[in-house]
């Protein structure tokens, strides 16, 4: 076994461990052992929920992406739908989903399904986009080769379609998985309608311990969460990424700087095995459905029917609730526009701070190889900690010493900054060596170099990063503007607060619907008005080809 590990990780792991041990002893009198003993059980339950959601997301992504990429007629509907799903704050729809699932499956199983569903929604869209993009960017010659050499049916699926998806799917899985942690914490304590439902897990443990003021226990829970994230990173995601490199069309063969990878034959074989099993299942399903004309047409028919009925039902429901809403507008409704402005200002403040530090940081990290070998792993670990898990701790500090507004902006910042930072780093790295060399040899340096080389080169990734950062920001908003600590409720006026209030404090389903709708509309509007034109411009003008 070849273990290459950067010092930064070791140091960090040791520090974390020490902090958790010291804090545990310091607060020893707080700790009740039954809670601590059940921590492994909590961790296992949370992990299981994540895995279940991931598996569903994977299946969804493959089928949705495949259909969207191959069926041009379906694509016209499927892509915009995916786009909206991705940019809408899913957390806001959650109470409705919980009530729906509990209605079908009563008791704890219903809540479990609802939690898995919430985590699923945070993972699936981005992965489906990954599949779609992979399938539509297969080199033309490769498709022609498959066409002219009669590679079709299940064989094409196994040798072209699935392998082509691997690199993007793995990369997006990592992003999805960390988004999943964020939603896990939110999903384990669910309030819907009149009841609050709690699931045993790390997320509920964190929230519970904070709200009841057991800080030591909360810190231990947080350490456990971070250790789990680190272990997964080390034993699953990193090796998987290096395994996925095999499926890239162009492979430089060089290690990304500042990265450590656990390379073992065993792990590679495990991935190979999983991939084989997965592709075998897909292939046999494919044969089953495509082999028999009757099954195929029956499937197509029933699929269309379900889709149609589902859409019709949703439309009906939607129209009815809108009509009801307009006939009987809640008094809070009039404060929605102002709330959105307040929230938007909070997001903007966080975004400005975020831009100010990530742009120079990204350049520094890429340009200083030595610093990056320490900083990159540190940043990656920091980024993998879900911001929401830190919020309880921050609130405790800010309630005592400062204002909640600062805490909210910091939380939003935490939910935004990593997307921007990592995108910018990738942007700086993508500057071709030739261009850098040309700049050096013609004496382009300092201010001029920043203005004419660095900033334009970073622009496309700055836009992509900003889009995802704002997406993350809107979701964080929902937890940032409303909190209960030691039985007391603290809030900031904003759309997130209105939504939480209508969900938890004084349940009002029409207010929930209104807040979510206006928030979604704002997001879609901002996307269409600012980000999409900016992105198009960035692609035309600033892309290296």
Partner 1 sequence: MLVEIRNVSKTYETDGTRIPVLENINFTVEDNDFICIVGPSGCGKSTLLRIIIGLEKPASGEVLFKGKVIAPDNPKVAMVFQNFALFPWLTVRENIELVLESKVLHEKEREGMACKYIKAVGLDGFERVYPRELSGGMKQRVGFARALAVEPVLLCMDEPFSSLDALTAQNLKDELLMLWADKNMPPDAVIMVTHNVEEAVYMANRIIVLSPRPGKIVADLRVELERPRNRKDPEFYRWVDKVYSLIV
Binding site for partner 1 (CB under 8 A): 139, 141-142, 144-145, 147-152, 155, 159-160, 163, 166, 246-251, 253
Nearer to partner 1, 279 or 417 (CB): 279
Q: Which of 449, 447, 455, 451 is nearest to 427 (CA)?
A: 455
Q: For residues 36 and 215, what is the distance between their CA atoms, to the nearest angstrom?
A: 13
Least CB distance to partner 1 at residue 11 (A): 36
Least CB distance to partner 1 at residue 151 (A): 6
Tell which phi-psi region holds residue 471, choosing left (phi > 0), alpha (psi between -120 and 50) or beta.
alpha
Least CB distance to partner 1 at residue 268 (A): 13
Instruction: Count CB atoms within 10 A of the CB of residue 422.
Output: 20
Tell me phi and psi for residue 403, to 5 degrees.
-105, 155
Nearer to partner 1, 47 or 283 (CB): 283
Least CB distance to partner 1 at residue 276 (A): 13
> Which DSSP string do the residues of 252-280 spell out, in sequence order?
--PPPTT---EE-HHHHHHHHHHHHHHHH
Tell me phi and psi for residue 189, to 5 degrees.
-120, 110
Least CB distance to partner 1 at residue 370 (A): 30
Nearer to partner 1, 246 or 528 (CB): 246
Nearer to partner 1, 251 or 357 (CB): 251
Nearer to partner 1, 52 or 138 (CB): 138
Least CB distance to partner 1 at residue 333 (A): 47
Angle 162-187/108-136 helices, nearest 10 degrees?
150
Nearer to partner 1, 28 or 149 (CB): 149
Nearer to partner 1, 250 or 434 (CB): 250
Residues 6+ apart with CB under 8 A from 425: 362, 365, 366
Which contacts qualify for 249-255: CB closer than 8 Å, 24 or more apart? 249/139
Nearer to partner 1, 29 or 545 (CB): 545
Tell me whether strands 195-198 and 262-263 are parallel, antiparallel or unpaired. unpaired
Q: For residues 185 and 387, what is the distance between their CA atoms, to the nearest angstrom?
A: 10
Least CB distance to partner 1 at residue 3 (A): 25
Least CB distance to partner 1 at residue 252 (A): 9
Q: For residues 485 and 103, what is the distance between their CA atoms, to the nearest angstrom?
A: 30
Instruction: Count CB atoms within 10 A of the CB of residue 485.
Output: 15
Nearer to partner 1, 160 or 219 (CB): 160
Least CB distance to partner 1 at residue 97 (A): 38
Helix (H, G, I), strand (E, B) or coil at 196: strand
Helical H segments across 149-201, by residue range: 154-156, 162-187
Nearer to partner 1, 278 or 542 (CB): 278
Q: For residues 521 and 526, what is the distance between their CA atoms, to the nearest angstrom?
A: 8
What the block records as the tokens of 205 is 């443990």
SS3 sequence of 356-382: HHHHHHHHHHHHCHHHHHHHHHHHHHH
Contact call for residues 5 and 375 (beta carbons, < 8 A): no
Contact call for residues 345 and 405 (beta carbons, < 8 A): no
Least CB distance to partner 1 at residue 4 (A): 22
């Amino acid at each position: 076994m070849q273990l290459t590990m950067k010092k930064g990780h070791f140091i960090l792991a040791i520090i974390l461990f020490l902090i958790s041990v010291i804090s545990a002893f310091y607060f020893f009198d707080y700790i009740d052992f039954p809670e601590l003993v059940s921590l492994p059980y909590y961790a296992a339950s949370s992990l299981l929920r994540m895995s279940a959601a991931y598996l569903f997301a994977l299946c969804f992504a493959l089928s949705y992406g495949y259909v969207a990429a191959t069926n041009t007629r379906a694509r016209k509907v499927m892509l915009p739908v995916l786009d909206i799903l991705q940019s809408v704050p899913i957390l806001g729809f959650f109470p409705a989903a919980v009530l729906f699932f509990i209605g079908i499956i009563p008791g704890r199983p219903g809540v479990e399904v609802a939690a898995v569903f919430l985590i699923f929604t945070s993972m699936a869209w981005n992965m489906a986009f990954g599949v779609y993009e992979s399938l539509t960017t297969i080199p033309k010659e490769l498709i022609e080769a498959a066409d002219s050499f009669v590679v079709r049916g299940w064989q094409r699926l196994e040798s072209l379609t699935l392998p082509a998806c691997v690199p993007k799917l793995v990369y997006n899985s990592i992003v999805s998985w960390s988004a999943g942690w964020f939603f896990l914490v939110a999903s384990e304590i669910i309030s819907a309608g009149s009841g609050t439902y709690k699931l045993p897990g790390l997320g509920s443990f964190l929230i519970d311990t904070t709200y009841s003021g057991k800080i030591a226990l909360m810190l231990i829970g947080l350490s456990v969460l971070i250790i789990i994230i680190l272990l997964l990173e080390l034993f699953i995601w990193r090796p998987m990424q290096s395994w996925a490199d095999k499926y890239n069309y162009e492979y430089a063969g060089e290690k990304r700087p500042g990265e450590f990878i656990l390379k073992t034959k065993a792990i590679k074989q495990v991935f190979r095995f999983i991939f084989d099993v997965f592709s075998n299942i897909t292939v046999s399903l494919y044969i089953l459905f495509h082999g028999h004309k009757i099954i195929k047409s029956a499937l197509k028919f029933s699929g269309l029917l379900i889709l149609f009925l589902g859409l019709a039902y949703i439309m009906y429901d939607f129209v009815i609730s809108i009509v009801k809403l307009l006939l009987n507008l809640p008094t809070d409704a009039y404060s929605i526009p102002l709330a959105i402005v307040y929230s938007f200002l909070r997001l903007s403040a966080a975004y400005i701070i975020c831009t100010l530090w990530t742009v120079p940081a990204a350049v520094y990290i890429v340009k200083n190889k030595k610093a990056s070998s320490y900083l990159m792993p540190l940043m990656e670990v920091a980024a993998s900690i879900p911001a929401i898990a830190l919020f309880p701790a921050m609130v405790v500090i800010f309630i005592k010493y400062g204002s909640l507004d600062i805490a909210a902006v910091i939380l939003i910042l935490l939910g935004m900054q990593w997307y921007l930072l990592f995108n910018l780093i990738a942007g700086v790295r993508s500057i071709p060596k030739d261009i850098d060399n040309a700049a050096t040899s013609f004496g382009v340096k300092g201010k001029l170099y920043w203005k004419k080389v660095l900033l334009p080169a970073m622009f496309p990734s700055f836009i992509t990063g900003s889009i995802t950062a704002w997406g993350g920001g809107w979701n964080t908003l929902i937890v940032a503007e409303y909190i209960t600590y030691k039985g007391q409720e603290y809030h900031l006026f904003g759309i997130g607060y209105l939504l939480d209030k209508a969900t938890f404090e004084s349940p009002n389903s029409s207010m929930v619907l209104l807040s979510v709708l206006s928030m979604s509309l704002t997001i879609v509007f901002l996307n269409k008005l600012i980000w999409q034109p900016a992105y198009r411009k960035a692609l035309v003008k600033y892309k290296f080809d």
